[in-house]
Structure 1
Amino acid sequence: MEQVRDNILDYLKENSFMEREAVLGDNDSLTQNGIMDSIGLLELIDYICETYSIEIPEEMLTPENFDSLEGITTLINRLAK
């Protein structure tokens, strides 16, 4: 789970409005902190699907699953089994 979290954090630092040196807590909001916008979210979803060879069901495309590192990591771990 830690590896998935670190992988997503690296992706965000490279592909979002997040600064490389920034510290992000597991439950910090990606949208409220200005790290992710709607286009960035779509790109993140594509990245997750390709990297982890998973499909994300439409009903799982919720703020709870995509607005924090914890939500994203939990979703990936649930679907990648």
Structure 2
Amino acid sequence: MEQIKNDIVDYLKANSFMDNGSSLKDNDSLTQNGIIDSIGLLELMDYICEKYSIEIPEDMLTPENFDSLQGITNMITKLAK
């Protein structure tokens, strides 16, 4: 799970409004902290699908699964089994 978190943070630093020097806690809101917007969220979803070779079912497209590192990591872990 730590590797997934690191991959997501690296992606966000390279492709979002997140500063390279900033840190992100597991439950920090990506949208409320201005790290990602709606277009960025779509790009993040594409990255996740490609990186982990998974398809994200429509019922998993929820704020709980995409608004924090913890939510994203939990979702990837469930889908990658």
What TM-score do the two structures reach when normalised by structure 1? Answer: 0.99
Displacement of 1:48: 0.2
CA RMSD across the alignment? 0.3
Task: Report the alpha carbon displacement of residue 65 of structure 1 after superposing the two structures with TM.
Answer: 0.2
Distance 1:18 1:27 in 2: 15
Structure 1 moving runs of 4+ over 3 Å: none
Matches within 5 A, 1:1-81: 1-81=1-81
Structure 1 CA distance, aligned partners of 2:12 and 2:75? 16
TM-score (norm 2): 0.99
Q: Which runs of 5+ in 2 are unaligned?
A: none
Number of residue pairs the alignment of both structures matches: 81
- Percent identity (aligned): 74
User: What stretches of structure 1 of length at least 5 have no aligned partner?
Assistant: none
Give the match's secondary structure for 2:23: coil
